[in-house]
């Protein structure tokens, strides 16, 4: 059974802090997605990566295929970064298996 | 990447009724997925909808409860039938676009009373 584990479940930070969210998965995958979900429910794709590291603005995602582990980092966090961050592994037949999400709250 | 218009964004429905959710994509896509997110839970795949074939449902989801249409490569609907309060969830559609990854609709927040 595919399992995706995220930590922490909840994270509160002060504006400007460096944030790390971790994701572990249990089986070999083709790629991993990091997603952002705002309170209204809509989901935005942040990264899709199968190796190494990707950077977009203040967001950095890394993946270690051998260790089946990925991290999402946010530098210089801001209150507008407050959201639920979800990692999802892309398995067979393009199906996504989602982690339970990390609720990030960044206080001013 | 594709842009998806999902409607309605939210609805409050009486138990026993049905609601049809629509997703319109601004480009042709082969694979479309429908998800449910129950309160406080992660997303769960309901079914995969490919144009020209019957939708493929995941374990625990049946066609009579969640009929899906996929008449062309840019449009799909999901109907939640004979609703009960347990169907209160966010429903989302998504498309797969190769190197662009996955794009999601804005979600439909359904409350059944």
Question: How confident is residue B101, by pLDDT bands cut at 50, 70 and 90?
Answer: confident
Cα separation values, B11 from B43, B64, B85, B106, B108, Å: 19, 21, 13, 14, 8
**CA–CA dist A85, A43 (Å, integer):** 9
Q: Answer whether residue A1 shows pLDDT above 60.
A: no
Compute the nearest-CA separation of A92 from chain B (Å): 12
Q: Residue A102 forms beta bridges with which residues?
A: A85
Average of per-residue pLDDT across B103-108: 94
User: Tens digits of per-residue pLDDT, B8-52?
Assistant: 999 999 999 999 999 999 999 988 999 999 988 889 999 999 887
* Pair of tokens at residue B45: 């795949």
User: Tens digits of per-residue pLDDT, A61-107?
Assistant: 999 988 899 999 999 999 999 999 999 998 877 888 899 999 999 99
| SS3 call for A94 | helix
* CB of B50 less than 8 A from some CB of A: no
**CA–CA dist A6, B99 (Å, integer):** 24
User: Tens digits of per-residue pLDDT, A4-53?
Assistant: 999 999 999 999 999 999 999 887 677 899 999 988 778 999 999 989 99
**Would you call B104 and A100 a contact, using CB atoms and an 8 Å cutoff?**
no
* % of chain B surpassing 70 pLDDT: 100
Number of inter-chain CB pairs under 8 A, A vs B: 52
Average of per-residue pLDDT across B77-91: 97
What secondary structure does DSSP assign to B83-100, as a single string? --GGG-EEEEEEEE-GGG
**What is the pLDDT of chain A when averaged over all its residues?**
91
pLDDT at site A41: 77
**Would you call A42 and B37 a contact, using CB atoms and an 8 Å cutoff?**
no
Cα torsion B39, B45, B50, B95: sign: positive
């Amino acid at each position: 059974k595919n399992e995706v584990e995220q930590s922490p479940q909840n994270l509160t930070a002060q504006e400007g802090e460096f944030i790390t969210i971790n994701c572990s998965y249990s089986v070999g995958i083709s790629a991993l997605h990091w997603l952002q979900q705002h309170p209204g429910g809509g989901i935005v794709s942040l990264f899709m990566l199968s190796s190494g590291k990707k950077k977009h603005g203040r967001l950095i995602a890394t993946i270690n295929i051998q260790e089946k582990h990925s991290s999402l980092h946010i530098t210089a966090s801001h209150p507008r970064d407050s959201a639920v961050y979800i990692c999802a592994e892309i398995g067979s037949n393009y199906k996504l298996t989602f982690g339970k999400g990390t609720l990030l709250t960044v206080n001013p | 990447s594709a842009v998806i218009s999902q409607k309605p964004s939210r609805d409050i429905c009486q138990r026993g009724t049905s609601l049809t959710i629509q997703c319109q994509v601004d480009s042709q896509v082969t694979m479309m997925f429908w998800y449910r997110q129950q309160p406080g839970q992660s997303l769960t795949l309901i079914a995969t909808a490919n144009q020209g074939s019957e939708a493929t449902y995941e374990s625990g989801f049946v066609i009579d409860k969640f009929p899906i249409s996929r008449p062309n490569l840019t449009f799909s609907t999901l109907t939640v039938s004979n609703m009960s309060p347990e169907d209160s969830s966010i429903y989302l559609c998504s498309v797969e676009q190769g190197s662009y990854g996955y794009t999601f609709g804005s979600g439909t927040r359904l409350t059944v009373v």
